[in-house]
Structure 1
Amino acid sequence: MPENESLELKRVITWKEGLFIATAVPVLVLPSIGFFASVVAGFSIVIWIANVLEGFFQCTGYAELATTYPYAPGIPGACQEIWKSRSNFIAALGAWGYWFAWNPVLPINALLAGWYMQSIWFPGQPDMAVWLTLGFGALMYAFLLTTCYFGLMAGAYTQLAIMVLSLVPLLGISALAYIMGLVHWDNIANWWLPEGWDWFSWDAWFTVLGLMALAEWSSCAWECAATYSAEYTNPTRDVPRALVAAGGLCLFTYPFVQAACVGTLGPDIVLEENIVNPLTPLALGTLGDIGGPIAIMTMLSAMVLISNTALLGSSRAMYSLARNYHLPIQLAKLNKHGIPFRAAIVTAIFDYILILVGVKYGGGLPVWILSASVVGYLFINGLTNLGFYLSRKDIPYHSPQRKWKAPKFWVYIALFWGIVNLTAYQIGNVWAMGTWTAAAMGYIVMLALVPLYLWGQKQMRDAGLTHVDLKPIEL
C-alpha cells in the first residue's frame, strides 16, 4: 500500500517531545481565572490545587492503560479497546467525548484573543472583539494546519518555540507581582469566600462540584501526553515520564497564577474583569505602559500554543474513532508524514463554526463554550476510569501485556473518579453556570455522534468485518 494511504501512526517521539506538547496545558488557566474568582473568590486557589491532584490520581491509571494498549492513541484509544467488546457505541461515545473536549480549545482561545486585543487596542469598542476573534481564528487555523501537516515531531518543536513566547512571560508577569510586593495577601485572606457563603447549603457544594468539573477540563488536561502512546518510540518509558513532568508543571502554575491575579487585583478589579481578561491589568500593574503589548504578545502566543496541542490531540481522537469504524473510515487516512490530516481539517472546520455559535449565542464568552466542552471531557474521563476496572478483569494484573502498572488497589480509585465524572460533575457543571444552555449544546454535540457512528458501522459491515483488532487495514 502506498505510504500516503497508511492508517498506522509512526513511532517517532520520546517523552521530551510529549512534554513539549503538554507544556501548553498551563495556559488553559486563562479562560477561568476571572470566572472562578468571581464565584468563589480566594478559594479558587484551592480548587486548582485539588484538581491537579485529581489529575495525578486519574493519570496514574491512564499511564497503565496507555502502556497496556500502546497501539491505541491515549485514553480515547484505550477507552475504545476496553469497551468495544461490550458495547461499540459506548466505546465510540467516550472517544467522541475526548474529541469534543479538546477541539473547542481553538474557538475558546480565538474568543479570548479577540477580547484581549480589543481591551488593549480598541478600549470602549466591545463590538470590535467579534471581528478580531474571527480574523485571529482564521489566521491561527491556517498556521496550525500547516504545522500539523508536517508531522508530530514538527508540532512538538513548534510547541517548544511558542512556549518560550507564552508560558515564560505568563509565569514572569505573575512572578513580578510577587517580587514587586504587589500581591497583597489581605486580598486573598479577606476575600477567601464570597459574602454569604454557606457550607451547609446544597448550593455551595454543587457550586464547588461545578468548578471542579470546569477546572478538570483545564488542570487535568496534561493527560494529553498519553494521547501519543502510539507514536512514542518506547511507550513504557515515555508515557509515565511525560505525564509526571507535565503534571508537576501544572501543579505549580495553576495556583501560582491564580493567587497572583487575586492577590494583586483584589475583588473590585477581578469582579470588573471577570470571565474575560484579568491578566491585562496584572501586566499593566507589573510592567507599566509596556505591560499591555507584552500581555498581548504573551496571550496570543499562548492561544496558538494550547490550540496546537488541542488540534494534535483532537485529530488523533478522531483518527482513533475512524480506525475502529466508529466514524467513517476515510477520516483514519494519514498523509505522507503519518498525520491524520483529514481529521485535523474536519476539526478545524467544526471549530470555526463553534466560534460563530459562541459569538452569536454565548455572548462571546469563552467560559460558555468551555462548559459545553466539559460535557465531552466528563464522558471520556468517566468511561475511561470505569474502563480501568474492566481492563483489570480482561487482562490479569501480572500479564506481560501490562508493561507499567499502578498499585492493585488503584482500581477502586479509578471507579470512584469514573462515577464522579459521570454523575456529580455533570450536575455541577450546569449548577455552576446557572443555566442549561451551554451544557445542552454539549449534549447535542455528543448526540451528533449517532449518524456518524451508524455510517462507520455500515462501512465495517460492507468490508466484511465483525470487529477491528487494530492490525493494518487498507482503504
Structure 2
Amino acid sequence: MSTAVPRGERMDTVPTSTGVATVSVDEHQLIKSLRWYDGFVVCLANPGFLISALGGAIGSLGALGALVLWTISMLIAVCQNQIYTEPAMMFPDRSGGVPIYSYMAWRRYFTFFGPMAAFGYWAGWTAVLSIFGLTVGQLIQGQWFPGATWGTSATGAHKYLGFIHFNLPVLIGIVLIVAVWAVNAVGVKPAVWVGYITGALLMIPLFVFCFFPYFTGSWHAVHMTWFPGSTGTWYSIRLAAVWLYLMGWSSYGVEAAATFAPEYHNSHRDTQLALRRSAMFSLGVYVLLPLGTGGVMSSAEIGKLSLNVSVVQFLIVELHKMIGNGFTDVVLVLLIASFILSMNTATMDGSRALYGISQSGLTIKWLNYINKHHVPSRGMTVDMFTNVLLLLVFGSALDIYAASNLGYIFTHVLCLSGVIIMRRTMRSWPRPLRLATPWLYVAGLLAAANLFFLVIGAPSFSITGYGNYVELLAGIGLEVVAILLYVYRRTVQDRERIVVQDRTEMVPNMALFREYFPESGIGTTPATSG
C-alpha cells in the first residue's frame, strides 16, 4: 500500500522501540540544490585547518617531523573518505554524516554511543568558528594593529573580568561568527557562493606558502629538523601519537562532503566525487604546505612565536622575508578570506549535524527544524552562541582545538568500526555503492589506529607545550551533556524508556532509494534488513 506525499514534502519511515514504523511528513526539508563541486568547495576549508596548527606542530616536532605526520594523517583521511562512501549511500536522506552512520551501526549494542558520537562530531566542527575567528583577529592585530593590546595584560580588562577573555582578536572573532551565521541563515546557495569566492582567493596564499620559499631563496634544508629535543623512543612515540590525535581534527575534515548527501542533485555520483576529490586535493596541500613553510625559519623560531605570540604569527614573519611588507598585506587579506571559508564550512556542517542527530532522535526535538530558506537555522544559532562562549572562556585557539577533539576522533572510531558491523547486521540493506572486502580490513585497522591516538593523545596534550587537563575535562563534560540531552529526549519528549541495546528491526524506505538512485534499479523489489 502506498502513501501519497504532497509535492515539496518528504515521507520518512522511522522505527520505534515497539518495532512499528511510523510515517512523518515535514513541510520544510533540505533541498537537492548542490553538485559535487559545491561539496568540494566547502571542503577547501581544510587548508585553513592545517594552517591553524602548523606553527605549533613544527615547533614541537620539527619541520620534517611535522611534514611526515601531517602526510600520514591526511593519508588516513583519504582512506576514511573512501570507506564513508558506502554508508553515505545507505542513508541518503539523513543529514549529519558520520555520527549518523555510527548510530545506525552501534544502536544494537550500546545506544548511548549514538548521542556521544553526534555531539562529539558537532563539537569538532562547531569549534572551527571560534578557532578561526580568533585566528583572523590575531592576524589583523599582528599585522595592522600591533599596539592594540588592551585586555591582554595583567593590567587590562582581563584582570577585571576574571575568567573572561576579551581583547581585540576576541572581538573580531565574535563579529565574524555573527556575520557568518547571518549569511548561512538565508539559505545554502549564498553560503556556497561565499565558499566559491573565498576558495578562489585561497589559491593565491596557498601558492605563495607552498612554492615562493624556493623561488625567493628563503628555503633552507637545514631548517628541516626531526623531533628536536626528543628524550627517548617512547617519548617520541607518545609525542607522535598526541599530534596525530590533534591533526585528525584538521585532516579528517574532508568527510564534511558526506554531510550534504541529501542535498546533492545526484546523490550517488555527487557524493562519491565530492568525498574523493576533496580528499585528494587536501592531500597535496598537506604535503606541500608544511614542506614550504617549514624551511623558511628554524623550528625553534616558529615554536617560540607560536607559543608566546600566536600560532599564526610565524606566517607574517615568513611573508615579510619572502615578499616584503606591501605584498604581505595582500596575501594576508586573501588568507583571512580562506579562514572565513573555514568558518562558513563549520556553520554549514555543524548545524546540519545538530539537525541530523535531532532528526534521528538523539537529542532534543527543538533542533529538528528547517526554516523557510531550507536550512537548519536553529542549529546555526546554537553554533553561534556556543562559539562566542568558547572565545570568551578559553581565548586560545589550541586550547579550543584540544577541548573539541576528543569526541570528534571517537566518532571516527565508531563510524569506521560501524561500517564493518553493518555488513553483518544489515546485510540486505541497499548499498548503491558497495566497498570491496579489503576496504573492510582497512576500516578495522584505521579504527584501531584512531583509538590508539585517542587513548594516548587525549590525556597527554600538555607534552606539546600547550594546555593541560582542562581541555580533556571539557571534552568529557560535553559527552556527559550529550547523554543527558538524549535521556531527556527519550524519557520526557518521546515518553519512551531508555534502551541500552536497541534491537528494533530497521526496514529501509525503498521509495527513498528509488528517488535518490533511480538509475541503480534499487527499490524495484522489496528488501528487508539482515
**Fold in common (TM above 0.5):** yes
Partner of 1:324: 360
Residue 125 of structure 1 and its aligned partner are, at CA, apart by: 5.3
Q: Deviations over 1:291-317 (max 9, x none)?
A: 442243133212211011011111111
Equivalent position SS for 1:265:
coil
Number of corresponding residues: 461
Residue 167 of structure 1 and its aligned partner are, at CA, apart by: 4.1
Residue 9 of structure 1 and its aligned partner are, at CA, apart by: 2.1
1:30-429 alignment, distance < 5 Å = 30-42=51-63, 43-73=65-95, 74-123=97-146, 126-127=149-150, 130-188=166-224, 191-198=225-232, 200=233, 202-275=234-307, 276-277=311-312, 278-359=314-395, 365-396=396-427, 399=428, 401-429=430-458
Change in Cα spacing, 1:246 to 1:8, as seen in structure 2 (3 Å) is same
Partner of 2:13: none
Residue 82 of structure 1 and its aligned partner are, at CA, apart by: 2.2
Equivalent position SS for 1:10:
coil
Partner of 2:476: 443
Maintained 8 Å contact 1:29/1:218: yes
> How large is the RMSD of aligned CA atoms in angstroms?
2.5
Maintained 8 Å contact 1:122/1:128: no
Structure 1 unaligned regions, length at least 5: 360-364
Equivalent position SS for 1:421:
helix
Residue 406 of structure 1 and its aligned partner are, at CA, apart by: 1.9
Q: Deviations over 1:433-462 (max 9, x none)?
A: 333221211111121112211222135534
CA distance in 1, matches of 2:442, 2:27: 38
Residue 420 of structure 1 and its aligned partner are, at CA, apart by: 2.9
Q: Deviations over 1:228-271 (max 9, x none)?
A: 11111222211121111111111111221212222011234312
Partner letter of residue 413 of structure 1?
Answer: V
Maintained 8 Å contact 1:206/1:432: no
Maintained 8 Å contact 2:141/2:169: no
CA distance in 2, matches of 1:339, 1:394: 33
Maintained 8 Å contact 1:20/1:157: no
Q: Deviations over 1:388-432 (max 9, x none)?
A: 111111233xx5711112211222221222233234423223324
Maintained 8 Å contact 1:5/1:334: no
Partner letter of residue 366 of structure 1?
Answer: A
Partner of 2:459: 430
Greater share of helix: 1
Maintained 8 Å contact 1:322/1:456: no
CA distance in 1, matches of 2:363, 2:303: 44
1:15 to 12, 36, 40: 36
Partner of 2:155: none
Change in Cα spacing, 1:410 to 1:289, as seen in structure 2 (3 Å) is same
After TM superposition, what 4+ stretches of structure 1 lie above 4 angstroms from structure 2? 1-5, 124-130, 463-472
Residue 196 of structure 1 and its aligned partner are, at CA, apart by: 4.2
Which is higher, the Rg of structure 1 or of structure 2?
2
Partner of 1:461: 494
Structure 2 unaligned regions, length at least 5: 1-5, 10-24, 153-165, 512-530
Residue 126 of structure 1 and its aligned partner are, at CA, apart by: 4.3
Partner letter of residue 76 of structure 1?
Answer: P
Greater alpha carbon shift after TM alignment, 301-310 vs 135-144: 135-144
CA distance in 2, matches of 1:270, 1:126: 22
Residue 104 of structure 1 and its aligned partner are, at CA, apart by: 0.5
Partner letter of residue 488 of structure 2?
Answer: W
TM-score in terms of structure 1 length:
0.90
Maintained 8 Å contact 1:23/1:246: yes
Residue 134 of structure 1 and its aligned partner are, at CA, apart by: 2.8
